[in-house]
Amino acid sequence: MSAVQTVPKRILVYLKHASRDKNPVLAKFTQCLVDYFDQSELTTLVHGYLQDNCFVLTNEISPHTMPLILKHPSFCPIHCLSPNIDLPNEIIHRGIDVGVAVILESMDNKILLTRRAKHLRTFPGIWVPPGGHVEGQETLTEAGLREFKEETGLEVSPKQCIGEKLNLMAFWESVYPAKLNHGDPKRHHLVTYLHGKLKELNSEAASAQLQIEPNEVDACAWLDRTVISAIVASDEEQSVQIENPLPDLPSYFRAHILSEEQKMVECSLPLAPLLRVASGTCDTGLERVSSGTKFALEQWLKLTK
């Protein structure tokens, strides 16, 4: 008799507003997370924590931790959603999932990004940090490092990082498709970004351990501060795309990709796609760095300046 395969428990977002909620309440799929706390801004300050397989977001003051930024873009589909929209029941009632992404910094100050495989249902061909869903009974760090290993083959433990831990850095409200004119919302996530810096492993040594998972990733690259600064400067809100890169900005970057034989090879890729901004047209398959990733990289630049 074959073993019964269990489906991992989905971790959903619960909300607790300091002035309105006595207890955390389950967030609805059509509920904008940023707007729940502040409808006037693209960002708000919140605390977030796992409790009994739920992820609670709150603006209550905590004596133990500093609040972190929660952001969404001005074109957030849930924020822009018409109250009269008719979504399928399986979408309306699915709640808001919790994801985790790891901004892993090598000893030589580079960040690993991966390009999502083109056959994936959500955000195909988009550059993001390694990450995925948080499953029942996992901490954010456990989930982040599990997904990191699954996607890149690189096994990292908190003990390898400065301070022997990964730190929660920021939150992003993610919706797919990314804009309403790309289609009705199908997925709604709270993405939690973790940051850790390796104490003894540089990008070259870490690259020797990479083995990307073709079901999820088709390329990865360690990017330095100059390239990351240019990516962050390509601003979706202002539709600013760097047409004339800085003199010290390379036209290509080194990456590991999957060949047609599904073998990992090193090559040079053009930098221009990483500097694209999300357009108003239906470009769901266009290679670029995701808006949430740009936000997380911006927080990393501020953290490490």
Domain range enclosing 271: 12-303
Helix (H) or strand (E) holding 290: none
- Report in angstroms the alpha-carbon separations of 161 from 25, 40, 49, 112, 145: 35, 38, 22, 15, 12
Task: Tell me, yes or no, whether 187 lies in a domain.
Answer: yes
Q: Which pLDDT score is estimated for 248? A: 80
CB 34 within 8 Å of CB 72: yes
Task: Tell me, yes or no, whether 5 lies in a domain.
Answer: no
Task: Tell me, yes or no, whether 6 lies in a domain.
Answer: no
Task: Tell me, yes or no, whether 60 lies in a domain.
Answer: yes
Task: Tell me, yes or no, whether 95 lies in a domain.
Answer: yes
Structure tokens of 36? 């729940």
Q: Which pLDDT score is estimated for 1? A: 45
- d(CA 166, CA 192) in angstroms, rounded, equals 12
Q: Which pLDDT score is estimated for 86? A: 93
Q: Which amino acid is at 165?
A: K
Residues of the chain with pLDDT under 70: 1-7, 239-247, 279-285
Q: Which pLDDT score is estimated for 6? A: 59
- Counted domains in the chain: 1
- d(CA 12, CA 190) in angstroms, rounded, equals 9
Structure tokens of 31? 């509920």
Task: Tell me, yes or no, whether 132 lies in a domain.
Answer: yes
Q: How many CB atoms lie within 10 A of CB 151?
A: 26
Q: Give the global pTM.
A: 0.94
Alpha-carbon radius of gyration of the chain: 19
3-state SS class at 24 = coil
Task: Tell me, yes or no, whether 76 lies in a domain.
Answer: yes
CATH classification of the domain holding 236: 3.90.79.10
